[in-house]
Every structure is written in structure tokens, then in C-alpha cells.
Amino acid sequence: MGRRVVITGMGLVSPLGLTTEETWQALLAGRSGVSQITLFDASNFACRIAAEVKGFDPLNWIEKKEVKKMGRFIHLAIAASDAAVRTAGLAITPELSEHVGVYVGSGIGGFDVIEREHTALLEGGPRKISPFFIPGAIINLAAGQISIRFNARGPNSATATACSASAHAIGDSFRLIRGGEAEVMICGGAEAAITPMGVGGFASMRALSVRNDEPQRASRPFDKDRDGFVIGEGSGILILEELEFAQRRGASIIAEVVGYAMTADAFHITAPSEDGDGGFRVMRDAMARAGIGPQQVGYINAHGTSTPYNDKLETIAIHRAFGEHAAKVAVSSTKSMTGHLLGGAGGLEAAVVALALRDQVLPPTINYETPDPECDLDYVPNRSRPASLEYALSNSFGFGGTNACLVLKRYAQ
């Protein structure tokens, strides 16, 4: 089985708040973080709503001269990482630094930097391109900047597996610790793609909700009247540690990571396989690797994007993976409140699952008003509720048919 891996810290910067506690309490209260877009003028766009991180000033975390060297997704990742390291009470000494790694994913990375520097090129020629363009935009520089900030000199990597990116980063970090290649991993993801090209691109695919006059009701996973996802931004970072290392330093343990799997649909560039096969196999494999059966799982934080096909096919996958127990397991999509953070979603949602296990409470799926006969599970509609949880899953499915599932357990010595 390998070494046990636990979560000792987390940092969330989300459309619901700039701290983990703000975000968690907003989720339990069923509050939406979706509103009209303010990051750019979206008045002539088909979709004019998003889940923005409000009130975020990178200068609260990063020196002014450094801010311009980084895209917004890196700013968000650094803020979340600071909170994660602080809440874990982790002191990265010179002796420890080689055993601390960073693994942070993103689906798109510095879209804002790419757009800004492309405009500079068109308006002023190549001499106007910033020397910080490339390091400000490329996906692995979130992990790189965090590594430099904390002198984390162990494994350092990044995932770019679309909406599964940060779940893969957490899962791969779990494997690195379990296999003895690190003692601690700072891991998760970040995304900041609420830009003209980001919103315009997804809108051109007709993937986004156009419920522009009712932004807070727009993200409605599993509801019959869902019409697309709401793009969000933010970062979710976890601190994973080998159990005995965490115990020796007296760390407070939030939850345990016990299983992880990844699969491919091998079906279509954007659509899930029609029988939910990739989602079914990733849940089946993750539970098998955790050494548990479906009947032991009390909660699934669904990928649940609020798109017609995704929600239907994830429901089919859950039925296949859980059999008769599917009717008894609670399934909710917190994207109903946070929007879809794309490559940052899995980091945020894994943290939500850990908090649900810690506090023994289920966050709801809000805006669930009209049941869909093809989506027939317990989606924890509209209100959070107490629960008795031992194991829970976090699902992340991405374009290209790439899937991830994490299995978390309530911590017990």
C-alpha cells in the first residue's frame, strides 16, 4: 500500500472569498459567486457573466516589482500557497527543502499575459514585447514561482490536462509521497481565463451559459434547464505530507488521501463518452486502489459542470460505478456556486471534500429547481446538510477525455 498521505493545510482563493474559511462558509450557505463580468468590457459578448475573484490585490502577497512578471493565475496560486503553508504550520528549513516538492496545474495558464503582449506586438512591433511575457504566461511557472518562494527543492512539475489538471497534480503528488520521493508536496491548481479570448472561445463552442440576466441562477448542475457552464477563476492548493512526518512535527491533520486514478475516454476532443465509460472506470479504479467498495463512499463532489451532456453522462458513470448504492450516495456540484475554475477546479474541490469530511457536512448543489429524468441521483439540492462520512470522492473530467478521481478519508489514527 505504501506510506500514508495526509492533508495538513489548504489555501483557497475563489469567487466566494479570499480565504478558505470565507469560501467554505459561503458554500455551506449556498451562496453564488457568479455576477456580471467586470474584468473586461463584455457588453458585446454572447456570455456576459462569470465567477470572478473579487477584491483580489496581488500586492497583498507579492512585491510590486514582481507582480508584473507573473500572470494572474500565478498571483492567485501564490496567494493560495501562502495560506496553505501557513495553515499547515510548515517551516521549510534548509534541511527539509530537498524533500518538499511543488506540483501545480492549470488548464490555460497566463491567457491575460498572452492577450496583453499580443496587443503590444500588433501596436508597437516586437520590441514592445515584455521580457517577462514567457515566464508570466507558461503553465509551469506557477509551480516554479512557488518553489522559489518557499525554497522547495524537491520534485517540481505542472499538469496541463484541462479541467483535470489540479486533480492530477494532487494525485501525482500523493503518489510521489507514497513512493518515498518526497515528504511534503505543495499541490493543486490555479486558473484565470476570464479574458476576452477565454470567454469568447468557450462561448463560440456554445459551452457557456447565456443566462445573462440571472447570473446567480446560471450555474445549475443536473437541473433540467441547465444551458452551459459558468467560467470561474481562482486557486486551490493543498499541503500533502507523509503521515509519520506530519505526526512528528505535530501537524493538525484535516483528512487523508487514500486513492487516485486517471483514465482516458479515447472518444472525442470535448464530449464525454456516451456510456460514461471514462468516468465509470476512473471511479472504479480509484476506489479499488483505495481498497474500498462503493458502499463505503458517502459523498461525491461531482465534476458537475451544468452542461447538458456532462451532467447526464456523469450520472450514468456513477450508476455504473456504484450499482445499487448509487441511490444512497450524496452527489453535489459546488460549481453551482463557484462556477467552473477549469484547471483550478480540482484543487478547490478536493479541498471542499476534505472540509466535508472534517466537518461532517455536505455542501449543496444550488439552483436545482427542475429535476431531469436523466439525472436521478441525490444531488443535495439547494441546502447543505449534516452527514456521517468516512470516504468521499472528488471527480474531475477534462477536454480530450482526460479523467481524474481522488478518494479522501476522514482522518483517524
| Domain residue ranges of the chain, discontinuous segments joined by + | 5-248, 258-409
Got the DSSP string for 350-367? HHHHHHHHHHTEE--BTT
The full length of the chain comes to: 413
Cell numbers given for 301:
463532489
Quick check: do 5-248 and 258-409 share a fold?
Answer: yes
Would you call 47 a catalytic residue per the annotation? no
> What pLDDT is stored for residue 60 in this prediction?
97
Mean pLDDT per 10-residue segment, the chain (413 residues): 92 98 98 98 98 98 97 98 98 97 98 97 98 98 98 98 98 98 98 98 97 98 98 98 98 98 93 91 98 98 97 98 97 98 98 98 98 98 98 97 97 85
The pTM (predicted TM-score) of the whole model is 0.98
Cβ burial, residue 19 (10 Å; 0-12/13-18/19+): middle
Residue 191 near residue 237 (C-beta atoms within 8 A) = no
Query: For 131, left (φ over 0), alpha (ψ -120 to 50), or beta?
Result: alpha
> What pLDDT is stored for residue 412 in this prediction?
86
User: ∠310-315-321 over CA atoms, to 5°?
Assistant: 120
d(C-alpha 189, C-alpha 81), whole Å: 10
d(C-alpha 181, C-alpha 197), whole Å: 39
Q: Could you say which of 47, 99, 340, 375 is catalytic?
A: 340
CATH fold group of domain 5-248: Peroxisomal Thiolase; Chain A, domain 1 (3.40.47)
Q: Could you say which of 47, 163, 187, 375 is catalytic?
A: 163
Would you call 163 a catalytic residue per the annotation? yes
Query: For 339, left (φ over 0), alpha (ψ -120 to 50), or beta?
Result: left
Q: Could you say which of 75, 187, 303, 375 is catalytic?
A: 303
> What pLDDT is stored for residue 1 in this prediction?
64
Q: Which CATH number among 3.40.50.2300, 3.40.50.10710, 3.40.50.300, 3.40.47.10 corresponds to the domain 258-409? A: 3.40.47.10
- Using DSSP's 3-state secondary structure scheme, residue 103 falls into strand
> What pLDDT is stored for residue 109 in this prediction?
97
Would you call 375 a catalytic residue per the annotation? no
